[in-house]
Amino acid sequence: MPRPVRAGTGRIEAGEHPRQRVVAPATPAAVRAALAGDTGDEAAVAAGTPQCSPTPSPALVLLSRIGVVDPESLHSYRAAGGYQALRRAFDIGPVAVIREITDSGIVGRGGAAFPAGRKWDAVARQPARPHYLVCNADESEPGTFKDRVLMEGDPFALIESITIAAFATGCEQGYIYLRGEYPRARRMLENAITQATAHGLLGDDVMGTGVSFHLVPG
């Protein structure tokens, strides 16, 4: 629930950066307090995502780690299997990665359902360099917040996935296009990028492979 307020006043002040608070369960009293500018302790991201739990359903794919891992801890993410996929991508090589994406049948969710494998392959084949990767997390579709849930609750998964896509398509620089109304998501992503860079999972020599990839939220 993004809203720029001055704590304790409930007034919207021009020029202030918005803050965001998870209100869950959203009882009438909790909502009134948030609207009045009460920016005290907030609920965990998973509390606002009904499908998530400490023992997630085996049917969950994208939401399987939300509520299970600490979204601010690289160690917690890796303990849950994080970065095994990137290691495997380096082991099999970019051509095989694109083949797996193509064979999986993954398509875009923006409405056209264009095959992701064909997009990746088209970029990888372009002789012009450098290649850039842009993750569109603007989430401009009315009434949707699926991207926000992932960015706030499982940011390292997004970073790892972007790095795999960059490796497969030959990109050395990436950007995450993020809307200003998602300050909490930006904070989580910046923290994840900082930790990943410090541990050699982003930067000039990713995982000691010689692959260079830098990523910034913007």
* 102: amino acid identity, one letter: T
Tell which residue, 139, 133, 152, 197, has the closest CA to residue 45: 152
Per-residue pLDDT tens, the chain, 218 aa: give them.
444 434 444 444 544 555 556 666 667 877 777 777 665 566 666 555 656 656 667 777 788 888 889 999 999 999 999 999 999 999 999 999 999 999 999 998 777 889 999 999 999 999 999 999 999 998 877 767 778 889 999 999 999 999 999 999 999 999 999 988 888 899 999 999 999 999 999 999 999 999 999 999 87
Domains and their CATH numbers in the chain: 74-217 (3.40.50.11540)
Instruction: For residue 158, report the phi and psi dihedrals to the nearest 5 degrees.
Output: -65, -45
d(CA 169, CA 157): 18
Give pTM, 2 decimals: 0.77
Q: Are 72 and 184 in contact (CB under 8 A)?
A: no
d(CA 8, CA 124): 53
